[in-house]
Structures are given as C-alpha cells and as structure tokens.
Structure 1
Amino acid sequence: MSNEECEAKVIEGDDELAGGEPMLVLGDEDPRDAELHEKILGEDMAYQGKILDVRSLDVELPNGRRSKRDIVRHPGAAAVVALTDSGKIVLVRQYRTALDRVTVEIPAGKLDPGEDPLECAKRELREETGFTPRRIRYLTTIASSCGFSDELIHIYLATQLEFDGASPDDDEFVNVDLVPLSELIDAVLDGKIEDAKTVVGALALDAVSHRL
C-alpha cells in the first residue's frame, strides 16, 4: 500500500482527522480495528510456573497467513500509591532478580484467584509497609507489557494512613522509604525510576493531586 493510500484510509476512517480536532478512539471501537484482529486457532501450555504461565498460540493473521505467538498468562496485580498526611509517598526497595539490582517501587502484589483488586491493594500495602488506609480510591489500570503478556495492574491511591506494622511474606525482603511526591516525579521524568506501575502511579497522582 502506498503512502497516499495509507493517508486516504486514515482520513476515511475518521472524519474528525480530516476536518477538525483529532479525537481519541479506544481500541476495538474504531471500525477499522476489525481488520487488524488475529484469529486464535489453538493454544498450548509451553511452561507453567509459580506466578505465570507461558502459552504458545497458533494464529491466523489479517492477511490469512498463519504465525506463532508466545504469550505470558498472568492473574493480574494491584498496586498502591500511598500518600501520607505530610505529602510523602510510601515506596518499597527490593531486589529484582530479572534486573539483578534493587529497584524503588510503589507497593504491589499478585491477585489471588477471584480476589478483588481493591482488597489485594490494601493487603499488599499492609503486608509490605505496615500502613493501612482509611481512604482508598481507584486511579487507573495498565497493561504492563501488552506485546507479550495479558497482565493488568490496577493502581489505587491510598490516603489517611495509619501504621500497624509490616508483615511481609517469608520470601519477601523489602525496605520502606517515605519520599516527597515532587522528588518522585523528578526521578520519574529523569528516567531514574523505570518500574512501569510506579511511573504511571506517580504521574497519575500528580495529575489529580489538586483535587485531593
């Protein structure tokens, strides 16, 4: 397809793009999206682990050809941006084997089967940091790496914190820091914080902080 044909197809698909302000159309809500879909023909277990599975999928591409996709199946997770009354964010420091270094992150954890993400968020905050919130609200949900994983992380904002004492799992080793939101935002924008849920959580809180 030529560049001219591509441009015509874009303009045809959305009149707003042709004449007015661009508008956001979410995935699978644009009529053109139907022709992008792959058809899943089969799915086999390639690896079954403690917290995730790897599946090998046979798919039919939009052009009719067949291909393979390796997909990580994950039960999902919840994460918490916990804000103290003095305006500091509760962060955890933990060693991440995949990166072979300690990272600084907002508290988070995997969903148990059938668990409400909100309850998971409160549980993980208490276990990892010892804080319990008197108020907690939903911020956003992210697909952590949708190119190969179906993991969704539900992010919450916790405020009016009370300290009850941490109780991490036996195989969980963390240190807790309280950091001003402005310092966290600076670290995110400088690329010093790379953890996706922490980046999104910090920026989401910064965006809504004037409403608190």
Structure 2
Amino acid sequence: MSKDEKNEGSDEVDVTLDEDDDALLGEEHLVALDDGTAGALDHAISSMAEGVDALTYDGDRSRHDHHSGAPERRHLVLGDDDPRDADLSEHVLAEDVVFKGRVFNIDRLRVRLPDGAEADRDVVRHPGAVAIVALTDDGRICLVRQYRSALGRVTVEIPAGKLNPGEDPLDCAERELAEETGMRAQKMAFLTTIATAAGFADELIHIYMATGLTLAESSPDADEFINVDLVDLSELVDAVLDGRIEDAKTVVGALICDAVAHRLSPQGADAR
C-alpha cells in the first residue's frame, strides 16, 4: 500500500511468513502441480500476456486509458453498445471540490438528468490502485493480513496498493508485490480491472497475476503492519465461496485465477 493509505503511527514493521513458507518459494523446494493444472496455469499466463479474448494486455505500456492509467482493453459487457444507453446519460452542469484528502478528493456534481430535471452527485475521486494474485509454483496464493480502520478489524487480502501520480499500473504491481511481501515475479500478466464502488467513486483497481516468484526482502511503508500467508488456491476459493473472504479485489482475483486454470485444463476443455 502507498503511505498515504495507512494510518499514521509507529515506525515498527511486522511482516512475517509462516515457518518454512519462505523455502517454498525457492525453485529447488517447489512441489510440482499435477500436469493438468500446471499446464493450464502456464498456458493461462502465456495466453493472457499475448492478448487472448477478454484478458487482453499486450505489454505495450504506452497504451493507457487517459483517466485511470488502465491497460487499454475491450469491455465485453452485455449491452455495452446498446443505443438505448444514450437515453441514460447525465450532463454535468457544474463541478466543485468539497473535500481534499491525502488519498482521495470528493467532488459535488450538478447534473441534468435524462428527463431534464437536475440533481447533485457526490463523487469520490481516487487515483486508482493495483492488486496482485501472486501464485507460487506449488499452487499457493500469497495473502496479506492487516488491520483496516474503516472496517474495524483485520482483513485477509491479496497484495495491493495505490497508484502514484503518472505511475504505470504494471510498475506499481511489481513495486507493491515487493514492498508488501518481498516477492519478485518472473511473469506478470494483466487479468482485469474492477470498479470498486461505481455508485459514488471512480476508483479502478487493476488486477495482475504474478508467477515465477522468488523471495527477496520486503520493505513495507513505515506505518504498515502486515502478516504474510501462503494458502492453497483451492482453500482461498473455498473461503471466498463460503463468505470468509469479503474483500472485493481478493474475491475477483481468486475466482478469475481459479476459472482460468479450469477453463484451460484438459478436463475443463472437455467439459466445454
């Protein structure tokens, strides 16, 4: 996470791995996945990096959405090109900044509705963020445990962090993965972008999958207190499906990773 996102506090940093988890990241200690799953995940990374179907990111860092810094991609949403959408548009008449914070601002928009009436819209303006599904060669996902003041409790999430001004999302993903977990990835593939709260915020989180992990040294921000865990992908998906994981980016990242692996496995191909 970026410093602006954390509560002010002590300089102490607590980042730990479960006993022997660090050894799992060393190539000589990795336990091989079964051929189907390993092949599926390898194919998934290659396919996504090459721009297959909706998971398109061609690696050209010069191609970005002007507002969010997101990799340019197709939006395959049902009705995305529906001409009726023109009847839903709102015209902004005025826009004022009503709050300026360290992480986000709030704008108040005066808009004209499709029926000609006027209304106010309060919008959270956020620079955007990235999140990383870090997958070890033995099928484990890296998760971080940290206290979230907004919820008043510890949450379990995939590594994530706020974009700095003008920062490329891929660079941010590599930086945040290293800072929060000490891991570096040989391959980083773009998965998708999610709008976290479209009803009142413009924040977009760009989710990546990281593979070929090696363990270096973590360097969290001074006010960041994190524990790092490695869990089986299947265990994470089970936790998502039974409601134990409620963090949106983690839910999406886990389910996409699981879906891609199954769709591209020999068994998944036969099922389709």
TM over 0.5: yes
Identity of aligned residues (%): 63
Question: Which of 186, 193, 196 matches 1:144?
Answer: 196
Count matched residues. 189
Question: Which of 49, 67, 92 matches 1:40?
Answer: 92
Structure 1 residue 192 corresponds to structure 2 residue 267 = no
2:182 paired residue number: 130
Give the drift of 1:194: 0.6
Q: Distance in 2 between matches of 1:194 and 1:65?
A: 37
Give the drift of 1:85: 1.1
The residue correspondences of 1:1-212 to structure 2 (distance < 5 A) are: 25-27=78-80, 29-210=81-262, 211=264
Q: Distance in 1 between matches of 2:176 and 2:241?
A: 26
Q: Give the secondary-structure state (helix, strand or coil) at the position aligned to 1:160.
A: strand
Give the drift of 1:24: 5.3
CA deviation digits over 1:151-172, x for unaligned, max 9?
A: 0000000001000011000111
User: When you count strand as a share of all residues, which structure comes out higher?
Assistant: 1
| TM-score of the pair, normalised by structure 1 | 0.87
Q: Distance in 2 between matches of 1:172 and 1:39?
A: 41
Q: Distance in 1 between matches of 2:77 and 2:175?
A: 35
Q: Distance in 1 between matches of 2:186 and 2:198?
A: 33
CA deviation digits over 1:129-153, x for unaligned, max 9?
A: 0000001101110001100000000
Give the drift of 1:86: 1.1
What stretches of structure 1 of length at least 5 have no aligned partner? 1-22
Q: What amino acid is the match of 2:251? A: V
Q: What amino acid is the match of 2:225? A: F
CA RMSD, Structure 1 to Structure 2 (Å): 1.3
Give the drift of 1:188: 0.4
| TM-score of the pair, normalised by structure 2 | 0.68
Change beyond 3 A, Cα 1:182–1:98: same
Question: Which protein, 1 or 2, shows the higher relative CO under an 8 Å CA cutoff with sep ≥ 6?
Answer: 2
Q: Distance in 1 between matches of 2:168 and 2:143?
A: 22
Change beyond 3 A, Cα 1:104–1:24: closer
Q: What amino acid is the match of 2:78? A: V
Greater radius of gyration (CA): 1
Change beyond 3 A, Cα 1:189–1:38: same
Q: What amino acid is the match of 1:94? A: Q
What stretches of structure 2 of length at least 5 have no aligned partner? 1-75, 266-272
2:58 paired residue number: none
